[in-house]
Amino acid sequence: MPDDNLAEQASVEVPPEVAVFEREGNLYDEQGRRVWRCGSLIYTRARLARLFSILFVGQFTFNLEFVAFPVLLPLLLHSKGMDAGQIGTLLAIIPLGALLVFPIIGTMSDRTQTRWGRRRPYDFLTTPIWYVGLLMLPFVDSFAAAIIPLALISFAGAGSNILNALYNDVVPPELMGRFVAGMRLIGGVGAIFFQAGVLRFFDDHPVAVFIGISTLAFIVEMGMLILVKEGKYPPPPARKTLMSAVTDYAKLGFGNRYIILLGFVIGATALGGPVMGSYFNIYVTSEDVGLGLSSEYLGNLLAIGTATSMLFLIPAGWLIDRSGPKLLWGAGCAVVGALQIGLLLAESQSMLVVVYVLFAAANGVLTATLLPMLFAYLPQDRFGQLLSANQIFCRILQIIGAQLSGWVILWASNDYRYAFVFGGIAYLCTPLFMWLISKTRYPYPGFPPSISPNGGRSPGR
């Protein structure tokens, strides 16, 4: 059922910063120039190109750090003489920030109004703390000493999750698909730059590489936050007591059929994803339980997959803007699920390559579609709060998926291919949950999403 209190707080339409006129479905300013609108923000072509350039550069360095950190951190800790158990314990600290801090930041940002906007202040505050943790880490000399910088990185780094909400607030809805696809493409270039160009220097210069990448990411992210402008927002709701805020968070984020179904629509990929993220690599390289191919072969196969997925990002973004993310997400999950089950037949190198390349292509479509799906199904003015709730739901499913897939392997007498079947079935459930959510009433009256599941601006916008 819709929340009556929420309906009373329905978001108010904020007028654009300059006068615009609609003609044949497009917007134009007083000089007759084609413009695009996001809330109160109005973009000419030049201003739009500037926005995309700033965000794309930020995504390049952000993804560079995102890819580099999980690779370099275990190597760095190992070089300090820590054993596998200690490294595992320290790595377990990292996800805590997203689970504990982002729900607070996401909810508060929905209710914030400053001259710097509602999203950027939180990243401004947390990014320097995150950077201090990164600078401390190369100089720790014990397990206990590493806990403090990793805690800073974990809890302050959770603030960067607010960037997804920032994109939703500043990018015109009708261009969102192409923006996300371009952002993912540039991020992929950043990942390749690290893998092919930077990683080779780590053995000889570990501290320099770690601090260099961290410093570049910090400078560019702070610069991006300064240069990007947020618009005006509707008045925030009245402040609540702590208990009332917690109750509101639980009720809106987990307390209705629609939001639970959306958790499964997005989270089915988290349930089936750990199979390809972990067990696939073991299956390809292990002589005891897999194909027994070399690590070099695996690296080449993964690189081919990455390149293939990047080819599909821009076409997927164009289709999202034209037809919406809904059909593309459902079809992509169905194809990925079928291909994961198809790995059951991949007993030769040639069949493995064919199935994996097709999988990478379909997964590239899902990569481009994920954020637009969230933008299409979550209310824009409660996006930070509900995004954090969705992430908690998906993280729980990811933990369950990792455990269940391990049990499936044991049940199948260490035949890793049956884990792929489990992951594929999880993906194949997505169209069912999408059908169910299409039959469910939207529970946030007066708070529309920014884009429509079927393409373009949400009818409420």
- Minimum mean pLDDT range among 94-98, 219-223, 250-254, 323-327: 94-98
Per-residue pLDDT of 35-64, as tens digits, reads 999 988 999 999 999 999 999 988 888 777
pLDDT-derived band at 336 (thresholds 50, 70, 90) equals very high
pLDDT (0 to 100) of residue 456? 66
Average pLDDT, the chain: 84
Per-residue pLDDT of 391-418, as tens digits, reads 889 888 887 887 788 788 888 888 878 8
pLDDT (0 to 100) of residue 314? 92
Question: Does 210 score more than 70 pLDDT?
Answer: yes
Of the ranges 68-72, 183-187, 331-335, the best mean pLDDT one: 331-335
Cα 83 to Cα 370: distance, rounded to the nearest angstrom: 37
> What's the whole-model pTM score?
0.83
Residue 162's closest CA among 228, 115, 211, 216? 228
Cβ atoms of 43 and 266 within 8 Å: the answer is no
Question: Does 242 score more than 80 pLDDT?
Answer: no
171: which 2 tokens? Answer: 């990018």
Per-residue pLDDT of 120-136, as tens digits, reads 999 999 899 989 988 89
Cβ atoms of 422 and 275 within 8 Å: the answer is yes
How long a stretch of residues is the chain? 461
Q: Which residue has the higher pLDDT, 254 or 85?
A: 254
Q: Return the bridge partners of 35, or none.
A: 27
Cα 39 to Cα 18: distance, rounded to the nearest angstrom: 12
**Residue 228: phi, psi to the nearest 5?**
-80, 135
- % residues pLDDT > 90 (the chain): 32
**Residue 82: phi, psi to the nearest 5?**
-85, 145
Q: Which residue has the higher pLDDT, 81 or 170?
A: 170
Residue 450's closest CA among 122, 231, 159? 231
**How far lies 117's CA from each of 17, 23, 27, 161, 400, in Å?**
15, 30, 24, 16, 37
pLDDT-derived band at 2 (thresholds 50, 70, 90) equals very low
pLDDT (0 to 100) of residue 232? 87
Question: Does 295 score more than 80 pLDDT?
Answer: no
Domains and CATH numbers, the chain: 4-38 (no CATH), 47-227 (1.20.1250.20), 242-438 (1.20.1250.20)
pLDDT (0 to 100) of residue 459? 62
pLDDT mean over 334-348: 87
CB-based contacts of 393, cutoff 8 Å, min separation 6: 254, 260, 263, 267
Cα 453 to Cα 50: distance, rounded to the nearest angstrom: 27
